[in-house]
Structure 1
Amino acid sequence: MKNDKPIIYLDNAATSWPKPPAVWEAMERTMKTSAANPGRGSHQMAVQASRVLFEARKRLARLFRIGNPNDIAFTLNTTHALNMAIQGLLQPGDHVIATSLEHNSVRRPLEALKRKLGIEVTYVATDSQGVLNPAKVIDAITDKTKLIAATHSSNLLGTITPIGEIGEIARSRGIKLLVDAAQSAGVLPIDVAGMRIDLLAFPGHKGLFGPQGTGGLYIDPNLELEPLMQGGTGSKSEAPEQPTVRPDRYEAGTPNTVGIAGLSEGAQFVLKETPEAIHARELHLTFELMEGLQAIPGLTILGPDIGIERTAIVSFLLDGVDPSELAFLLDQQFGIAVRAGFHCTPLGHETAGSYETGAVRASPGYFTNESEIVSMVEAVKEIKRTLHGGRS
């Protein structure tokens, strides 16, 4: 709330808000009735907790067209899932192809393995709007290429990567494909088999409408990773090694059962509404926001032009105004929540030409309404008038 007015929340690319009521109702219900350790006991509360996890796996498997729900390992977030995939797969001497749009959750683990293991990394450049030519991926492949890591949609530009084409390229050459679905899970249709995805890292707290501290990693049944963590799983406790059975192998320690209960209901909400309908709603709002902002003199929108398919991300610069100051004023004077800075993707800002300044990012969500879009545009206009001494 700001001055007794509801906040206008346009930071859904970071965490979606508000959540469907069923999400927090399920979390409260689970905390009250079945928040025991799943897989660690045979009493009824532990059994019910296990059911919560399996129901969530089944719903996520339906959403992503995954054959076996046990090929989904729950994680804390997308970053956790990406680290599991990257650190669990790569060996000394391996070569990795990534894109110039990658989030630090991909770049930093890769750069760490460059230092530790001597892996090689090639970042394939997109154009300034984030459009990737798959032919450049082919050109970057060597006889040592083990993995292609690609964001499904840029968290700065909203550009959608042609994952299906990249998947065909990878599969035909025996290379594994890791997809960062931080901005696409729940919003864009994902079919892991049809898109030739070997590893899919996704968040619970964004397009799946779950709580923070939830996410997952799909691991192709023909692919084995070295576990990122070792520890208690409730299975094969007599063995000194981590069990091989899935998903236990990749889920050491007590899981976030309450959070996963919320994620399960978020996934169910997406299944009911469908990613196609959610994306259509968000894209309509995104184009409305872009249309209003681009009419402001001196304002530059990053990423694809209006009318071109994208996710609900609108990053922009306003001449003569620091992005952090603009975001601060939107919050303090108008109660509008956006995000300014580098959005954990310096690669993306280098690609877009905004590395020196960063940018303001507004990201509508499924529950945003048209009047809030109008308020955002009018607020930016007012801030510009104020800072520029009445000049438009």
Structure 2
Amino acid sequence: MISLKYFDNAASSWPKPKQVVEAMTEAVMLYAANPGRGSHQMAVQASRIIFQTRVNLASLFQIDDPNHISFCLNTTEALNLAIKGILKPKDHVVCTSVEHNSVRRPLEYLKKNSDIEVTYVKTNKLGEINLEEIENAIQTNTKLMICNHSSNLIGSILPIDQINKIAKKHGLITLVDAAQSAGLIPIDVDGMGIDILAFPGHKGLLGPQGTGGIYIHPDIDVEPLMHGGTGSQSEKIEQPTIRPDRYESGTQNTPGIAGLNEGVKFVLNETVEKIHAKEWELTQRLMLGLLNIPQVKILGPKLGDNKTGITSFNVETIEASQVAFRLDRKYNIAVRSGYHCTPLAHETVGTVKLGAVRASVGYFTTTDEVDEFIDAVQNIANR
């Protein structure tokens, strides 16, 4: 077992529940056939596991019909599918200043090549947003409202239900980036007014990398990002209209989805509420310890505020990359430094020239590991 103290769960959660590894191994060894393409027993078993995963995801996100969930490689693919499949020339989009590049880059690409318009509504340095500014940003040609449920830089949580209520009043489609919230914060797609939900499998859902998905409301048609074989309506030259086939061309990642299924089952059994409470307590312990180090400045929400398990900070006079390097090499602690694929958020909190060190706890992080982390940063700051 690796003795590494892992504080990079915002990138990929680790370790995984043993059931995840066992399910992936079983899939490769016993039913590594193409789901939905054959009627033999291995293909049927692969299809069964994939459908079971949809059912469990639907239970987690309060979705009525699991067939409206399609699997993707990650949140990035899901977001690209939604953004590029909805927007047309001259459309306008409203989103926030804490968006990940998985939202910003597709939008800027379409802005340059398809003449769409984008308004980024700025949050304050704590990650809080003014709802009036959200509403004031809406134009007559606004079509889509995109919100990062939780910032991958500062861990702040946006009031998705209130933002989407404004969007619905103006007839907009709502897209939520749940990269840092799926499995970590309760999500109810209908109750929160979510038309499209993009989520990863490899973070809070405790599945392997290369898994993720998208929920698309049944009343909304999104143009597919890819076209190809689906195992259904093969006699037609057009992409199928039935879901989830419409958005799942090619062979699915059956071993990965089998692992994801066990991760989702683990989350359902433990409950999102219990997971969030534990990670919040660990984060508060970490923040309190860092606040007692004079050279450290924490970004984002204050101690006691609701947030996910992310704590980003800088150490006075020491570059973020150097802090991360020393934590790794001397203390065997894994963090991430730099810009975290979200220069917008760094601009918002005033660290665009500095970057930051990001420590992100997970459900399997211990209080001893948190205390060791604090001691390590203390030692680095004093030298």
The two structures share one fold, judged by TM-score above 0.5: yes
| 1:326-382 CA-partner distances (Å, limit 9, x unpaired) | 000000000000000000000000001000010000001000000000000100111
Provide structure 1 residue ranges, at least 5 long, that are not aligned to the other structure. 387-392
Q: Does 1:181 align with 2:207?
A: no
Report the equivalent of 1:220. Answer: 217
The TM-score, its normalising length taken from structure 2, stands at: 0.99
Do 2:128 and 2:158's aligned partners in 1 also have CA atoms closer than 8 Å? yes
Whichever residue aligns with residue 245 of structure 1, its letter is I
Report the equivalent of 2:270. Answer: 273
Output the CA distance in 1 between the equivalents of 2:331 and 2:259.
Answer: 31
Report the equivalent of 1:390. Answer: none
- Tell me which of 232, 244, 248 is aligned to 2:245: 248
Shift of 1:132: 1.0
Output the CA distance in 1 between the equivalents of 2:129 and 2:13.
Answer: 27
Q: Does 1:363 align with 2:327?
A: no
Output the CA distance in 2 between the equivalents of 1:378 and 1:294.
Answer: 12
- Tell me which of 337, 360, 379 is aligned to 1:382: 379
Shift of 1:44: 0.6
| 1:20-56 CA-partner distances (Å, limit 9, x unpaired) | 1111111011111111000101111001100011000
Shift of 1:290: 0.2
Output the CA distance in 2 between the equivalents of 1:172 and 1:26.
Answer: 44
Identity score, percent: 59
Report the equivalent of 1:389. Answer: none
| Number of corresponding residues | 383
Report the equivalent of 2:57. Answer: 60
Output the CA distance in 2 between the equivalents of 1:238 and 1:170.
Answer: 40
Whichever residue aligns with residue 195 of structure 1, its letter is M
| 1:216-270 CA-partner distances (Å, limit 9, x unpaired) | 0000000001100000000011111100000000000001000000001100001
Report the equivalent of 2:10. Answer: 13
Q: Does 1:42 align with 2:42?
A: no
Whichever residue aligns with residue 94 of structure 2, its letter is I
Provide the secondary structure at the position in 1 that maps to 2:352.
coil
Q: Does 1:74 align with 2:71?
A: yes
Output the CA distance in 1 between the equivalents of 2:262 and 2:169.
Answer: 37
Report the equivalent of 1:347. Answer: 344
Report the equivalent of 1:148. Answer: 145
Q: Does 1:133 align with 2:149?
A: no
Output the CA distance in 2 between the equivalents of 1:132 and 1:215.
Answer: 28
Shift of 1:385: 2.1
Provide structure 2 residue ranges, at least 5 long, that are not aligned to the other structure. none
Report the equivalent of 1:287. Answer: 284
Report the equivalent of 1:101. Answer: 98
- Tell me which of 42, 51, 72 is aligned to 2:48: 51
Output the CA distance in 2 between the equivalents of 1:47 and 1:331.
Answer: 45
Output the CA distance in 1 between the equivalents of 2:131 and 2:69.
Answer: 28
Output the CA distance in 2 between the equivalents of 1:27 and 1:134.
Answer: 44
Report the equivalent of 1:302. Answer: 299
Q: Does 1:113 align with 2:113?
A: no
| 1:66-94 CA-partner distances (Å, limit 9, x unpaired) | 01000001000000000000000000110
Do 2:295 and 2:381's aligned partners in 1 also have CA atoms closer than 8 Å? no
Output the CA distance in 2 between the equivalents of 1:42 and 1:171.
Answer: 43
Output the CA distance in 2 between the equivalents of 1:384 and 1:140.
Answer: 43
Shift of 1:133: 1.5
- Tell me which of 189, 192, 201 is aligned to 1:204: 201
Provide the secondary structure at the position in 1 that maps to 2:382.
helix
Whichever residue aligns with residue 217 of structure 2, its letter is D
The TM-score, its normalising length taken from structure 1, stands at: 0.97
Shift of 1:116: 1.2
Shift of 1:298: 1.6
Report the equivalent of 1:312. Answer: 309
